Amino acid sequence: MNTEEKLEIAKQLELLGVDCIEAGFPISSKGSFEAVEQIAKTIKNSQIAALARAKKEDIDAAYGAIKYAASPRIHTFLATSPIHMQYKLKKTPEQVLENIKEAVTYAKSLCADVEFSAEDAMRSEPEFLARALSVAIKAGATVINVPDTVGYVTPEEMAERIRYLYQTVDGIEKVDVSIHCHNDLGMAVANTLAAIKAGATQAECTVNGIGERAGNAALEEIVMALKTRRNYFEAYTNIDTRQISHTSKLVYNIIGQSVPLNKPIVGTNAFAHESGIHQHGVLAARETYEIMKAEDIGIRKSKLIIGKHSGRHAIADRLREMGYTFTEEELTQYYNKIMDLCDKKKYVSDSDIEAIVYNKERSAGGYKLEYFDVHTSKNATSTCLIKLSRNSEVKEAVSLGDGPINAAYNAINQITGNICEELVNYDIHSVSDGNDALGEVTVKLKKGERTVTGRGLSTNIIESSILAYINGINKLIEMH
């Protein structure tokens, strides 16, 4: 993600009601620092945290990026498991304890709110983990985090560990106890909920469960479990669940992934019933097979039909009804794109509108598609003529390819100076039903160590493929 995309997601997380947004790892790169800094300056209703290893230079970078936040937090971490201390840190347990004390003390001197994470906590010796967290609290930590870094434990073990820490860690009653679970064995959400039931007061999670390896605990699943089973967990969040669907789709779109059909809460089939028995039950009484309402996560059914003769006000009303906020400039962009789409299909669905909203141009000043002409057949090499404009200058190229998309991409590479070194991934799917559905193409392009996502949307899949590639090229140029 570029800075603009990260900021867009941060704004949506603020709307969602997230208590604390961990915005990034500022020491990792100049771009990461700038993105965290921009988010810290913009977001007012959520805390902003920055990640830092237990090193002075990391902590300095973290504070430098978040010092303008309305409510800043430094999140520093150090491993406490025997395997990490021996092979990664190459430090004795006593050296690790001293490192924790120094890092948290220094972070506290810069920022009032400090979180300490004992990396690989669930494979740490319980007694040593308790000592490490006690040291962090004494040094000034306001949040202690217990990560299951490799997704190793079961819910029963997780609950037992949290209860043990409450009984043994000095000063634990004065701080928030946080849980951070990975999903390597498919138990991240279950482990998180078990920790909450045992007393944890902060859950670290990600939208759609994205993250390292198999991912992290999914925010939407944790939130809806707490909402649906509130009496059991005796816990609640301030999350506005009506923003869940929008947040999920925005994140999937920006990172260039499609929603799995069977994804809990946000998947296409989450509120669909194919079995005759299920359909009969739902028609008789929704509660027979549905424990949540689609409306609870922001999915609404509209009776208003959008077509060629729909006015600007009708489209504005539909967008508001779907839960979107927008400026007059954005409304003009959406209106023009919807009207263009109405020239190609009779009616525009909510899925079409969502795709238009999420696929807005996020890279200004780059290449734009002016014209393309593709010739292809079963037994002949494909050819493509393409014209692109940039800063009022129009360039064109003709190229051959193994197929129409390959030919188009070869022509774009000629115009753009082969800035894309590798097409890592190409994906296409429809965003609505019918033979006039919009086709959404996502590509991942690589140059050096940089990988970017490009997206394109059109009823013409060749055009959407070209638009996606150009979108990715523009991002590479922006980062160059």
135 token code pair: 């040291």
What tokens appear for 280 in the block? 């009969």
- 3 state DSSP class of 399: strand
Name the packing angle between helices 404-416 and 461-479 (round to 10°). 30
pLDDT of the residue at 306: 79
**What pLDDT does 351 receive?**
80
- Using DSSP, state whether 254 is helix, strand or coil: helix
Q: How far is CA 226 from CA 118, 131, 209, 233, 374, in A?
A: 26, 31, 16, 6, 53
DSSP H helices in 25-84: 30-42, 56-66, 82-83
The phi and psi torsions of 176 (rounded to 5 degrees) equal -80, 140
Q: What is the pTM of this model?
A: 0.85
Q: How far apart are CA 175 and CA 227, in angstroms?
A: 24
Per the listing, tokens 């991934």 go with 425
The pLDDT value given to residue 272: 67
- Which residues on adjacent β-strands are paired with residue 382? 401
- What pLDDT, on a 0 to 100 scale, did the predictor assign at position 431? 80
Confidence (pLDDT) at 322: 80
Domain coordinates in residue numbering, the chain = 3-255, 306-358, 368-479
Give me the tens of pLDDT residue by residue for the chain, a chain 480 residues long. 889 999 999 999 999 999 999 999 999 999 999 999 999 999 999 999 999 999 999 999 999 999 999 999 999 999 999 999 999 999 999 999 999 999 999 999 999 999 999 999 999 999 999 999 999 999 999 999 999 999 999 999 999 999 999 999 999 999 999 999 999 999 999 999 999 999 999 999 999 999 999 999 999 999 999 999 999 999 999 999 999 999 999 999 888 888 888 899 998 788 765 555 554 554 556 666 678 888 889 887 655 667 777 888 888 888 888 878 888 988 998 888 888 888 877 778 888 888 888 777 655 668 999 999 999 998 899 999 999 999 889 999 999 999 999 999 999 999 999 999 999 999 998 887 666 678 889 999 999 988 999 999 988 999 999 999 999 999 998 877
Q: Do 254 and 453 touch, CB atoms closer than 8 A? A: yes
Residue 347, strand partner residues: 307
* Secondary-structure class of domain 3-255 per CATH: alpha beta
Decide: 458 and 439 in contact? Cβ < 8 Å.
yes
The CATH number given to 368-479 is: 3.30.160.270
> What is the model's pLDDT at position 401?
95
Q: Taking the alpha carbons of 269, 438, 450, 68 in that order, is the dihedral positive or negative? A: negative
Per-residue confidence (pLDDT) for residue 90, from 0 to 100? 97
**Can you say whether residue 90 is alpha, beta or left, with left for phi > 0 and alpha for psi between -120 and 50 degrees?**
left
Q: How far apart are CA 102 and CA 98, in angstroms?
A: 6
Report the pLDDT value the prediction gives residue 304, as an integer from 0 to 100: 60
